[in-house]
Amino acid sequence: MKVSKTLVVALLLVLLSSCKLATVRPLDPETGKAIIGTEDQAFNAERYVAERWDDPLMTLVEKDAVNLLDLLAALKEDSAAASERYGHQQGNSPYSFMVKGEGKVLELDSSSRAGLLKLDLDPFDGQADISLAVGPVIKGTALRDAMPFIKFNDFTNQLEFADVSKALHARVMTDVVEPFNAEASVGKTVQFSGTSTLSDPIVITPVRLEVKK
């Protein structure tokens, strides 16, 4: 028996109309149930950071930041103990620290987009001891990883976790670096608070930066 093409197409349309498309949704880590939401409820890293920048982030840094020179001395004496006491670690990542201090600006290195202010620390010898990240590209994840309230398991995936770091760096640029005249600070003493892994060379992501009066 021959079946017309029209009949075959009609049968296929009926079958397709009865099928339901499955939607894959992320699971709530606490309840294990599917998260049902709209596009407006999708994770927004900029909003996440905005809601936490002043408090708890800035509050924590102002309260818990350790004098950089004191921390470096403690790390030299007993690295493991000092890291455990003053640092915070995300998984197997290096320890990140909240630090504060001051130094004389020797130069603004803008040879790459990851701009750096190079500082000489007390006792002053005319040599750069540390750098402050002034962008526009800020490398690393020390700012995110130093915050005990930002936990990887609170996010749906690695992309969201990475987006938080990018949003934090964007906030550093708008709130800290752009209002600060990095070029005009050369030769002056600046005070800073920020975060760093204290790897060699030491680069600090600032959350507060001002010329000492």
Ramachandran quadrant class, 57 (left: phi over 0; alpha: psi -120 to 50; beta: rest): alpha
- Region 26-39: what's the mean pLDDT? 46
At 132, the pLDDT band (50, 70, 90 cuts) reads very high
| Domains of the chain: residue spans and CATH | 5-211 (2.40.50.420)
pTM: 0.80
pLDDT tens per residue across span 39-77: 456 999 999 999 999 999 999 999 999 999 999 999 999
- Region 5-13: what's the mean pLDDT? 52
Element (H, E) at 29: none
* pLDDT higher than threshold 80 for residue 36: no
Q: What distance in Å separates the CA atoms of residue 139 and residue 142, rounded to the nearest whole number?
A: 9
**92: exposed, middle or buried (C-beta count within 10 Å: 0-12, 13-18, 19+)?**
exposed
Confidence (pLDDT) at 39: 45
